[in-house]
Amino acid sequence: MEHTDHVNLLRGGIPGPGGVWADLGSGTGAFTLALAELIGPTGEIYSVDKDGSALREQARLFRVRYPGYPIHFQKADFTRPLELPPLDGLVMANALHFHRDKAGVVRHLRQHLQPGGRFVLVEYNVDSGNFAVPHPLTYPRWEALARECGFAHTQLLMTQPSRFLKEFYSAASW
C-alpha cells in the first residue's frame, strides 16, 4: 500500500485537524504518517510500539516528512499500562489480530479515550488467519466487539483489496 491508501483508510474516522491521538502498534509508522497528515500540525500524536528499532526508523521518516509536528515515541506494549494523556482518538492498524483476548485489549485501550473519543481500526476482513495474521476479525465481528466494549456507534469507513488476505477494512467506533 502507498501513503495515499493509508490516509484514505483513516480519513473517514478522523473528524478534523487537531486533537490528541495515539497510534498503537505503530511499527515503522505508515499509519502514523497518515494520521499526521489528517490531524495536521495542531494535533499531537503518541506513537506506541514495543520495537525500538521500528520506532527509530519511524522517527527518522517523521522528521523528514513532518518536521515540527508534535509527536512522542513510546517503546511499550499497548496491552500493558501506558502513560498517555486523555485521547481524542486512537488508531490501531494491523495489530489487534495478534491478540486472542481482543475484548480485554479494547477495554484496556478504551480507558485512554475521552468521552466521545474515537477508536479507528484497520484490519484484515477475514475469519481465518495464518502465521502472520493469527487472530483476524471481520468487520461484523469488530462491530459486535466494539458494542460489547461500550462503544455506542461503529461505522465501516472503507474496504480495500489486499494481495495478502482478501481485503482490509477500516472502521471507527465512538
Domain residue limits, the chain: 3-157
Give the side-chain half-sphere CA count within 13 A for 78: 29
Determine the pLDDT at residue 147: 98
Determine the pLDDT at residue 5: 95
Those residues whose C-beta lies under 8 Å from the C-beta of residue 144, and which sit 6 or more positions away, are none
pTM for this prediction: 0.95
Determine the pLDDT at residue 127: 83
Low-confidence ranges of the chain (pLDDT < 70): none
Determine the pLDDT at residue 65: 95
The amino acid at residue 142 is W
CB 166 within 8 A of CB 125: yes
CATH of 3-157, one of 3.40.50.150, 3.30.420.40, 3.40.50.300, 3.40.50.1370: 3.40.50.150
Determine the pLDDT at residue 19: 98
Q: What percent of the chain has pLDDT over 90?
A: 87
Alpha carbons 76 and 41: distance in angstroms, whole number? 24
